[in-house]
């Protein structure tokens, strides 16, 4: 009896399915009945980044760089225009070096109407970062998330004061990370975005959809190369800008370690020959003959594997690691030479290059 009932039910279901396939007009009626019990949703879904802008925009300030006239050293005139980002309740502002490089006076205008003269805490030409400070109470501070890591495809908003039109927000995505081709010496790891960054946007904020600071807007590709291009702009990653700010606040300037080597990442073939444990090392291609590395016995064609026991992550990783070392510190550099592993002590010097 049970088998008979199961066969009957199965035959009924199969028959119903065949009817639905043969008579398509029956499908909308049945499907609509299934969804009648669920709440209806607004068909016009509105996407807005208003909340992100409301969180971040008050902390993005307009910066006016003023200089004394050559013909009249008692009169100041506005010569430069840019933007900045308040990142601390103490009034610290991150902006670009080139925005305030030649300023005799720096004026900061907040979005709530307050205007103040800013103190230049310090600047770093190599990373194009300058740190300002203003006095004031209840200063707006941009949301910060040190755990956020920019990824290609992330939606970002560029906030600044282009051409002194007033605060403006543009929209785009992160097109690439780690771009170094437009920086002096090729050591700057820029974020590339297609959000429009124009004159006056420099020093402004690049934020994510939560309003959190992603980077400091610095240039468009057109400004950097004089080519007529669109959709290629650059920003300094917040983590780098924050590190530079901490150094400037602590020492008044950026003190960098230097060992005097230039190298190239190990290619995939060499990495396979050396073994996976050596991936990330670099081949030494050039040496400062008077630099710490040369004095410590490092030679061209050596393969550097670790510095002070820390595994390397390519050429950029070596630059970052050495830069953070305090001058006068002696580090152990482990390397391969002619297939033999050895460790040499190297005393770090201060990098005095601009």
User: Which of these, 81, 76, 272, lies nearest to 160 by C-alpha position?
Assistant: 81
Chain segment 181-219, per-residue pLDDT in tens? 554 444 568 899 989 888 888 899 999 999 999 999 987
| Residues with pLDDT less than 70, the chain | 1-46, 73-74, 180-188, 220-231, 267-279, 354
The domain boundary, picked from 251, 284, 316, lies at: 251
Domain match, 293 and 342 both: yes
Is residue 276 included in any domain, yes or no?
A: yes
**Residues facing 168 on adjacent strands:** 160
154 is catalytic: no
Domain match, 342 and 261 both: yes
Distance from C-alpha of 331 to C-alpha of 348, rounded to nearest angstrom: 7
Domain match, 87 and 64 both: yes
Domain match, 244 and 265 both: no
pLDDT of residue 21: 56
Domain match, 276 and 290 both: yes
The domain boundary, picked from 251, 283, 312, lies at: 251
pLDDT of residue 332: 93
The backbone torsions φ and ψ at residue 316, rounded to the nearest 5 degrees and listed phi first, read -65, -40
Is residue 174 included in any domain, yes or no?
A: yes
Q: What is the DSSP letter of 139?
A: -
Neighbouring CB atoms inside 10 A of 147's CB total 5
User: Which of these, 206, 124, 130, 144, lies nearest to 171 by C-alpha position?
Assistant: 206
Domain match, 265 and 200 both: no
User: Which of these, 279, 263, 272, 274, lies nearest to 315 by C-alpha position?
Assistant: 263
Domain match, 163 and 117 both: no
Domain match, 161 and 241 both: yes
Is residue 34 included in any domain, yes or no?
A: no
Domain match, 246 and 261 both: no
User: How many angstroms from the chain centroid is the CA of residue 256?
Assistant: 20
Is residue 8 included in any domain, yes or no?
A: no
pLDDT of residue 31: 45
Domain harbouring 214, CATH code: 2.40.10.10
CA distances from 274 to 54, 132, 298, 305, 339 (A): 53, 48, 19, 11, 9
pLDDT of residue 184: 44
Domain match, 261 and 241 both: no
CB within 8 Å of 283: residues ≥ 6 apart: 263, 264, 266, 270, 301, 302, 303
Is residue 145 included in any domain, yes or no?
A: no
Q: Count of domains in the chain? A: 3
Distance from C-alpha of 71 to C-alpha of 252, rounded to nearest angstrom: 32
CB within 8 Å of 270: residues ≥ 6 apart: 283
pLDDT of residue 38: 47
98 is catalytic: yes
Distance from C-alpha of 160 to C-alpha of 108, rounded to nearest angstrom: 13
Q: What is the DSSP string of 190-237?
A: EEEE-S---TTTTT-EEE-TTS-EEEEEEEEHHHHH-----S-EEEEE
Range of the domain at 264: 257-350
- Catalytic residue chosen out of the listed positions 65, 83, 98, 265: 98
Is residue 122 included in any domain, yes or no?
A: yes
Report angle CA 323, 326, 328 to the nearest 5 degrees. Answer: 125
Domain harbouring 342, CATH code: 2.30.42.10
Domain match, 272 and 199 both: no
- Catalytic residue chosen out of the listed positions 128, 183, 220, 233: 128
Distance from C-alpha of 122 to C-alpha of 129, rounded to nearest angstrom: 9
- Catalytic residue chosen out of the listed positions 175, 202, 220, 233: 202
Domain match, 242 and 302 both: no
Is residue 14 included in any domain, yes or no?
A: no
With helix as H, strand as E and coil as C, how does 268-301 read?
A: HHHHHHHCHHHCCCEEEEEECCCCHHHHCCCCCC
Is residue 35 included in any domain, yes or no?
A: no
Q: Residue 129 in contact with residue 236, Cβ under 8 Å? A: yes
pLDDT of residue 185: 45
Distance from C-alpha of 35 to C-alpha of 45, rounded to nearest angstrom: 19
The domain boundary, picked from 251, 286, 315, lies at: 251
């Amino acid at each position: 009896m049970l088998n008979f009932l199961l066969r009957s039910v199965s035959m009924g279901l199969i028959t119903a399915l065949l009817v639905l396939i043969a008579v398509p007009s029956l499908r909308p009626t049945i499907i609509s009945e299934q969804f009648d019990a669920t709440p209806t949703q607004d068909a016009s879904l509105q996407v807005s980044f208003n909340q992100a802008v409301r969180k971040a925009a008050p902390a993005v300030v307009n910066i006016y760089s003023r200089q004394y006239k050559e013909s009249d050293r008692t009169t100041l005139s506005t010569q430069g225009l840019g933007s900045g980002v308040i990142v601390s309740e103490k009034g610290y502002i991150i902006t670009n070096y080139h925005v305030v490089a030649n300023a005799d006076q720096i004026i900061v205008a907040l979005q709530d109407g307050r205007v103040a003269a800013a103190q230049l805490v310090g600047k770093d030409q190599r990373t194009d970062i300058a740190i300002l400070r203003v006095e004031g109470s209840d200063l707006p501070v941009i949301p910060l998330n040190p755990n956020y890591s920019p990824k290609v495809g992330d939606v970002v908003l560029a906030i600044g004061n282009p051409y002194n039109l007033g605060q403006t927000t543009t929209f785009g995505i992160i097109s690439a990370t780690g771009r170094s081709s437009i920086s002096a010496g090729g050591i700057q790891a820029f974020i590339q975005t297609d959000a429009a960054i124009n004159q006056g946007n420099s020093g402004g904020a690049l934020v994510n959809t939560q309003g959190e600071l992603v980077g400091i807007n610095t240039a468009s590709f057109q400004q950097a190369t004089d080519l007529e291009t669109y959709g290629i702009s650059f920003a300094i990653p917040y983590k780098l800008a924050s590190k530079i700010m901490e150094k400037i606040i602590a020492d008044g300037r950026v003190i960098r370690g230097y060992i005097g080597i230039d190298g190239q990442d190990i290619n995939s073939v060499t990495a396979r020959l050396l073994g996976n444990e050596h991936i990330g090392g670099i081949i030494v291609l050039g040496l400062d003959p008077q630099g710490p590395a040369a004095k410590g016995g490092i030679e061209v064609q050596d393969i550097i594997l670790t510095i002070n026991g820390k595994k390397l992550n390519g050429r950029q990783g070596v630059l970052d690691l050495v830069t953070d070392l305090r001058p006068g510190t002696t580090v152990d550099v482990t390397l391969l030479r002619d297939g033999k592993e050895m460790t040499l002590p190297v005393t770090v010097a201060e990098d005095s290059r601009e």
